[in-house]
A and B are shown apart, each in its own frame.
Chain A
Amino acid sequence: MIPFFAQIRRDLAIAWQHRQDLAVMLVFFVIIIALFPLAIGPRQAVLTELGVPIIWIAALLAILAGFDRLFAQDVRDGWLDQVSLSQLGLGWYALAKAVSHWLTAGLPLLVMTPIMAALLDIPMAQLPVLITALLVGSLALTLLGVIGAALAEGARHAGALLALLVLPLAVPILIFGALASNHDSGIVSPHLMLLGAVLAVLLAIAPLVAASALGTGETETGL
């Protein structure tokens, strides 16, 4: 088996053993969204107007919530030491981590989105545009989270540091994503293309940044 896919398979097997984490993340996503209608009150026009931004904020928080543990377990187990000497290399390793994290965090959110859209009274006709934008946006957020997780790895308050590092950088994704989701004429909008450009840039730099952060950082294992 190609090392890249072996790493993904390993992460998915571990994620399956920790599947309650996935449930926690999904409930978190649902609760954030469910709280907004309660706070807004019985004003349907406001809710319809705010529906798309609410879904984006909830998706952003839910995807990034799991990132503080992305590399921590592998560092503690000593798996990272094994990866760094292997044929896989740290760059491909980081990319494999991104793929498996997206499959276990991003994809379930996309599946839940139609239900959440109904809860927020988003018109069904807008759903394909919203899902497409969320698909590209969640991939970009995952790569951004990989960069943040690699940089914050080993820090004492990795979760808080990660949020400080990543949330400001997530602003372009949020802006283009929300704009692309509200586009009326056709799925492919200029905003979606810009979102795709963000994804392309992140795809190019995320493995490099993560590899250099994980390669030279003094990890807590061993000594």
Chain B
Amino acid sequence: MAHDQQQNPLPAPAAATVALKIDQLCVLRGPVLVIDHLSFTLDAGRFCCLTGPNGAGKSTLLRTLAGRLPATSGAFTCPVGRIYVGHADGLSPAISGRHNLASWAALYAIDAKPDTIDHALDAFDAGSFADRPVHLLSRGQRRRLALARLGLAPPNSLWLLDEPNAGLDHAADTHLDAMIAAHVSAGGMVMAATHGPLAASVPQVRLELAGNKAGASR
């Protein structure tokens, strides 16, 4: 068994509803079975921390849940909306961060008024550079713009975050932790892959991926 799931004793939420259900999921990347018969459930209002060494399949799992990689076998169900923040920021370098955020909100049919967008940008102190073309911004600034989407996300959604705190400064790190805490306490779900500490104050379910160290062996 390649996966080691540890459930920390947690205070049970008022109405524990299984919202994300992964059933015997296998994902093949080339010849390597990266995710090997993973079964896992995440209740609403829980924060799941994906850990494991490089190549363990954290990004693969998140991309599969985001619908960007096909499951080789098995399946998952998630009745709520999913918000994915991957390694790529999903920002066009040619237009401003504000325009990127506004078109993202429109695509997700989120009714975003200008002050809602301002509010989401301010959550990551991104207001000062949001009107500049994204190609002029630094790595960390782009990351903050990508994460500013979370401020527009519907409250019951599942956030799939792939190393969200990579490249963030300390202040932005704190904002992200606060945002995760608020989302979880409002009944949303967060699944985040991380190497460092992330939202340590939030009670978390750990999902440790070990990957397939033997390569192509089953």
Q: Which A residues lie at the B interface, using CB under 8 A?
A: 1-3, 6-7, 9-10, 13-14, 17-18, 73-74, 76-79, 81-88, 215-216, 218-219, 221-223
Contact = CB atoms under 8 A, between A and B. Distances in A.
B108 A81 contact: no
A165 B90 CA distance: 29
A156 to B, nearest CB: 17
A82 B99 contact: no
Contact of A10 (B66, B69, B84, B99): B99
A10 B107 CA distance: 10
A221 B86 contact: yes
A17 B133 contact: yes
A84 B103 contact: no
B13 interface: no
A87 B107 contact: yes
B168 interface: no
Contacts of B88: 76-78, 81, 221-222
Interface in B38-89: 59-60, 63, 66-70, 81-84, 86-89
Interface in B92-123: 92-95, 99, 103-104, 106-109
Nearest to B82: A85
Contacts of A82: 84, 90, 104, 107
Contacts of A18: 94
Contacts, number: 93
Contacts of B91: 77-79
Majority secondary structure, B binding face: loop
**Centre residue among A77, A216, A222 by max chain B CB count within 10 A:** A222
Contacts of B66: 81, 84-85
Contacts of A216: 70
20 contacts: A1-B106, A2-B106, A3-B106, A6-B106, A13-B99, A14-B94, A14-B95, A77-B93, A78-B90, A79-B90, A79-B91, A79-B92, A81-B68, A82-B90, A85-B83, A86-B109, A87-B108, A222-B59, A222-B86, A223-B29
Q: How large is the interface on B (under 10, 10 to 19, 20 to 34, 35 or more residues)?
A: 20 to 34
B62 to A, nearest CB: 9
B92 to A, nearest CB: 5
A222 B193 CA distance: 13
B217 to A, nearest CB: 21
Contact of A77 (B60, B90, B133): B90
Given A3-B109, A10-B103, A222-B68, A81 B95 contact: no
A29 B204 CA distance: 60
Contacts of A79: 90-92
B162 interface: yes
A14 B68 contact: no
A85 B67 CA distance: 7
Interface in B123-181: 133, 162
B82 A9 contact: no
A21 B132 CA distance: 22
A77 B103 contact: no
A86 B81 CA distance: 9
Contact of B87 (A9, A84, A215, A221): A221
B68 A84 contact: yes
A88 B107 contact: yes
Contact of B63 (A13, A76, A88, A222): A222
Contacts of B108: 3, 85-87
Contacts of B59: 222-223
A6 B86 contact: no
Contacts of B87: 78, 221-223
Contacts of B84: 81-82, 85
Q: Counting chain A CB atoms within 10 Å of each CB, which of B88, B89, B94, B95 scores highest? A: B88
A130 to B, nearest CB: 34
A218 to B, nearest CB: 7
A14 B92 contact: yes
Given A86-B108, A222-B162, 10 more contacts: A10-B95, A13-B99, A77-B89, A77-B91, A82-B107, A218-B69, A221-B86, A221-B87, A221-B88, A222-B68
